[in-house]
Amino acid sequence: MSTYASLSHSKWDCKYHLVFVPKGRKRELYGKIRKFLGPVFRELAQQRGSTIVEGHMVADHVHMLIKIPPKYAVSEVVGYLKGKSAIAVARQFSGRKRNFNGEQFWARGYAVSTVGFEEEQVKAYIRHQEQVDKRRDKDDDDEDDGQF
């Protein structure tokens, strides 16, 4: 059984399996961007009191198992992760330092499901998903494992 975290008046264990894609599902999550985004996601999640338990990026989508405290809505945390990471990518890779109004690296929307006692199965699925994608896309030359 998992350990419970505490807020001032509650004990909680809220985990979610989250999937989102780049705009147009373009194969942009490779190389330098892929290595850059892992620590960015972890830092942004921490700023919202959340923890990324497991995460992998493949060429055209992101899978993560994230622990979000009940004081935050899942949509708020996902919006924060996607918005701030898009700004960080624009700053790092497109040379823009300001005026990020309208930066759209990520597509609208996301898929989310709650994770209960099957946490180990979800972690294994996230790890296995990358292997399935690698088999499907033999042309991907990147040796990076995509883990963050």
Q: What is Dmax (Cα atoms) for the chain? A: 52
Give DSSP secondary structure letters for 94-131. Answer: S---S--TT---BPS--EEEEE-TTHHHHHHHHHHHHH
Q: Which of 30, 72, 80, 125 is flagged as catalytic?
A: 125
Q: Read off the tokens for 82.
A: 């996607």
Query: Quick check: is 72 catalytic?
Result: no
Q: If DSSP codes are grouped into helix, strand and coil, which group holds residue 86?
A: helix
Q: Which residue has the tokens 């994608």?
A: 133
Give catalytic residue positions: 125
